[in-house]
Amino acid sequence: MDKLRSTHERFNVSLTDTTIRTLKPKQTRYRVTDGRGLILEVLPSGRLSWMFRYRFQGRPEKVTIGRYPEFGLKAARSERDRLASMAAHGKSPAREKQLAKTAQAADSTVQEFAERYFGEVVVRDRKDPRNQRRYLDNEILPAFGKKILRDVTAADVQALVFRKRDNGKESAAADMRNLIKRMFDYAVVCGAVQMNPALALPVRFITKARARTRTLSPGEIRVYLHTLYQSNIRRQFKLALHLILLTLVRKSEMVLAKWKDVDMEAGEWQIPVENSKTGQPHIVYLSKQASDLFVELKSLAGESLWVMPGRSSLAKPFSHNAMNQAMGSITFKIAPFTIHDLRRTGSTLLHEKGFSSDVVEKALNHTIGGVRGVYNRAEYAEQRRKMLQFWGDYVEGLASEQKILEESFKHGAA
């Protein structure tokens, strides 16, 4: 039995359009054959794809024909016959297709190849490719999307990236350079170019990697919340940025949260595997203060499945960058800090208050390294619940929204 048969379920049937329409996806991909090497693959996503398997010079080969229903049964059989004839006359269909694809790529514009790269690589590898899509649409393609791919120079890449860097966006400039580099790496693999122009621009000339050490003092937390609630950003962002401080979750976990994972009655927020950086599900125990913020977010979300539905559609969440932009629009009269620094602030202050490092690290959904990480499987559920309630009370004692409003009213009356 060949490798195909050992790794995928496979059925031999005589296909008809009616038969194909009744095929249902399963947990693993499976294949049905129409005979003479024509196979229809059914993916867990429900996508159907034709392929032709044959032997060329004694060796097994395969070539993809296309998706169903774009390629109907009749068209797939006709293409199978054409490819079989090609193999019979001494030409490898798989090799000829690759050569044609390489030739096409060599004449591609950046726009054309970027779409191929996005579909074949980015969408497959990224849980959320919206940042990459945004860089392509807003920065890279307007700059040199119409150029033939092989005509892009190191100077083109440098001009685009340095303009971003010199506008004070070093991190974004480095991300954009890395996206261009990865796209041209793929172009080299595909035979579309011989050299990668982004290699002439090392990241060290764009930004310097710095270990983050910034934490907010209790007084700075007061200023942070005071300024946050007096700002003009959307109410959802105010509540979410407050929630990140109270729950110590990552920004992405906040943006991608769905209401089905928030149990206000139990006081628990489930972070599913697909949203967890550690690749493991995680429970966030909600303090009374955090639960109150979720109640208001629920009223703002309406009928959306998302805790933070986007501005233009209830069916999609805000982009990851939207919260950064909201924060960037606020002038805080304290030393600069990032959203992620709120997690470090909570960790630092909770350690200073005497909470166990294991409990704090578990609450942050960090992976504990070394031997302790291997043998210590404790979840510390009750300790984490008590600690996060302590933290909610502590932060509220520093500056609740009610205290901010009362203080603002007093200053206004004066």
pLDDT at 183: 94
d(CA 398, CA 233): 22
Greatest Cα pair distance, the chain, in angstroms, is 94
pLDDT, position 66: 84
Q: What pLDDT, on the 0 to 100 scale, is given for residue 190? A: 81
What are the chain's domains?
3-104 (3.30.160.390), 107-205 (1.10.150.130), 218-413 (1.10.443.10)
Q: What was the pLDDT predicted at 1?
A: 38
The separation between the first and the last C-alpha atoms of the chain, rounded to the nearest angstrom, is: 87
Element (DSSP H or E) covering residue 23: none
Ramachandran assignment for 112, one of left (phi > 0), alpha (psi -120 to 50 degrees), beta (any other): alpha
Q: What phi, psi does 211 have (nearest 5°)?
A: -70, 130
Q: What is the pLDDT of residue 6?
A: 38
Phi, psi for residue 11 in degrees, rounded to 5: -125, 140
Buried b (16+ CB within 10 A) or exposed e, 222-255: bbbbbbbbebebeebbbbbbbbbbbbbbbbbbbb
The pair of three-digit structure tokens given for residue 113, joined into one six-digit string: 């190849």
DSSP-assigned letter for residue 25: -
Q: What's the chain's Rg over C-alpha atoms?
A: 27
In tens digits, the chain (414 residues) has pLDDT values of 344 443 444 555 578 888 898 888 887 888 898 888 999 998 877 889 899 999 988 889 888 888 898 889 999 999 999 999 988 888 888 877 766 665 555 678 999 899 989 988 888 777 678 889 999 999 999 999 999 988 999 999 999 999 999 988 888 899 999 999 999 998 888 888 889 999 999 988 898 766 668 899 999 999 999 999 999 999 999 999 999 999 999 999 999 999 999 999 999 999 998 888 887 889 999 999 999 999 999 999 999 999 999 887 888 888 877 888 899 899 999 998 989 999 999 999 999 999 999 899 999 998 765 545 444 456 889 999 999 999 999 999 987 656 655 555 444 433
